Amino acid sequence: MTTTWRNLVQSVAEARGRVDDWLVGSRHATYAAAVCRIGTALAVLGLLVSNFSTRDLWVGQASVWAEPARAISRFPELRLLDGVSSDVLAFIYVLTMAASLALALGWHAKAATVVTFVGFIAIVGQNPVVGSPGDNLVRLTLLWLLLMRSADHWSLDALRRSRRLAAGKEASREEDALPPWLSSGLHNVGLVALCAQTVLAAMAAGLDKVADRGWQHGTALYSTMQLPESRPFPALSDLLSRNEVLLAVLTYGVLLSQLFFGPLLLNRFTRRFVIVLAVLVNVVLAVVFAQPWSALSTIAVTALFVSDETWQRVEDVVLTTTQPAADWVLDRGYDLLDVADAARYRVLLPVVDWVRFTVLRR
């Protein structure tokens, strides 16, 4: 009995040591985190840009028609922009768009994530009537990205870091703010939490669909395609709605990619299948039902389950393909960071000054 207990304690200690090494030893899925950062930021930017002209009707002073829904909601985020003028709303709106663009480019990614997160909640949360499950997924994704090092690859921050190391300089103060073990631990905790959230969200969406009569009878997608706002391409919608085989394939594809998303991730081969299926389904939904930004946010978090080895191979292929163009740019003395700095001083700051003196009149 003593030997058995000793072996059990030793096994638990070894398992704990492996968990500790995985959690604080190094950062995992850094390429996948970069893809998630870019996709989520582009989803936020696309949503805000496409609704810029109707921002007052959506979340501004003209959105009084949504007041009954706000009155019964207890979320404090509904009061963040409550009663603000059109000028203040325009400033926050433009600031959030600029932050989401900076996040997509990986320029001061941590600060950009904070501004995008707060701005997105403040804007989208103002109107609960037109909200969608994709909006909730974006906020949760941005929340966990606050903990993650999503700019270690494919970002201006990574490019600046490599230039500093090549010049023999020390890391910036932003990178030295936390000890390496704590930075890695926070990143890995955020990664696990975001992956778990994605699996739970997909399975919850699938369970909700199979409990609905429309999905049980196979008429849910057909009914949706008859709504005017869900027919960006009427000919394509009619083609799908009139073809029972295509409609059935799309229906089962949606259910399979959501309801069994978690279990199919447990096997190497089924993981590839369900990831490809989820991406294809979301692309079809984006085109057929006019939901590009919600679909893009879902694809962004689905990319977390693709291994870094795969993303590195993708990077090698892209670099090999674009190397002639990169050599052409370098031969002419251009530098991506120089272009970014020029855009900051010649475009961003003049726009900010214009907003201050023309819109806000300060």
What is the pLDDT, as a whole number, of residue 179?
83
* Percentage of residues in the chain having pLDDT higher than 70: 82
What is the pLDDT, as a whole number, of residue 4?
75
Question: Does residue 195 or residue 83 have the better pLDDT?
Answer: 195
Q: Indicate whether 76 belongs to any domain.
A: yes
Give the chain's domain count.
1
What is the pLDDT, as a whole number, of residue 101?
96
Structure tokens given for 263: 């279990």
Q: Indicate whether 61 belongs to any domain.
A: yes
What is the pLDDT, as a whole number, of residue 61?
81
**Sequence-separated (6 or more) residues with CB below 8 Å from residue 232:** 287, 288, 289, 290
Q: Indicate whether 246 belongs to any domain.
A: no
Helices marked H in 82-210: 86-105, 109-124, 133-145, 156-166, 180-210
Task: Give the whole-angstrom CA distance, residue 148 versus residue 143.
Answer: 10
For residue 112, what pLDDT band results from cuts at 50, 70 and 90? very high
* Percentage of residues in the chain having pLDDT higher than 90: 40
SS (H, E, C) 191-209: HHHHHHHHHHHHHHHHHHH
Task: Give the whole-angstrom CA distance, residue 314 versus residue 301.
Answer: 18
Q: Indicate whether 97 belongs to any domain.
A: yes
Question: Does residue 123 or residue 74 have the better pLDDT?
Answer: 123
Q: Indicate whether 47 belongs to any domain.
A: yes
Least confident of 138-147, 225-234, 287-296: 225-234
Task: Give the whole-angstrom CA distance, residue 30 versus residue 308.
Answer: 7
pLDDT tens for each residue of 304-320: 999 999 999 988 888 77
Least confident of 17-31, 178-192, 218-232, 323-337: 323-337
Rg (CA), the chain: 23
For residue 345, what pLDDT band results from cuts at 50, 70 and 90? low
User: Helix-strand-coil percent breakdown of the chain, rounded to 5?
Assistant: 75, 0, 25
pLDDT mean across residues, the chain: 83
Q: Indicate whether 140 belongs to any domain.
A: yes
| 233 three-state secondary structure | coil
Least confident of 89-98, 315-324, 340-349: 340-349
Highest mean pLDDT among 2-16, 149-163, 185-199, 235-249: 185-199
Cβ–Cβ < 8 Å for 69, 129: yes
Q: Indicate whether 283 belongs to any domain.
A: no
Q: Indicate whether 262 belongs to any domain.
A: no
Structure tokens given for 95: 């600031």
| 75 three-state secondary structure | coil
Average pLDDT over every residue of 159-168: 80
For residue 24, what pLDDT band results from cuts at 50, 70 and 90? confident
Neighbour tally for 85: CB within 10 Å: 12
Cβ–Cβ < 8 Å for 305, 271: yes
Q: Is the pLDDT of residue 358 over 60?
A: no
Of 31, 39, 28, 30, nearest in space to 313 by CA: 31
What is the pLDDT, as a whole number, of residue 356?
58
Handedness of CA 226, 201, 114, 77 (dihedral sign): positive
For residue 329, what pLDDT band results from cuts at 50, 70 and 90? very low
Of 316, 280, 270, nearest in space to 31 by CA: 316
Handedness of CA 248, 249, 254, 259 (dihedral sign): positive
What is the pLDDT, as a whole number, of residue 331?
53
Average pLDDT over every residue of 176-198: 89
pLDDT tens for each residue of 240-251: 888 888 888 999
For residue 358, give its domain range. Answer: 29-167+174-203+348-362
Cα 349 from chain centroid (whole Å): 27
**DSSP 8-class letter at 229:** G
Structure tokens given for 44: 């936020």
What is the pLDDT, as a whole number, of residue 342?
65
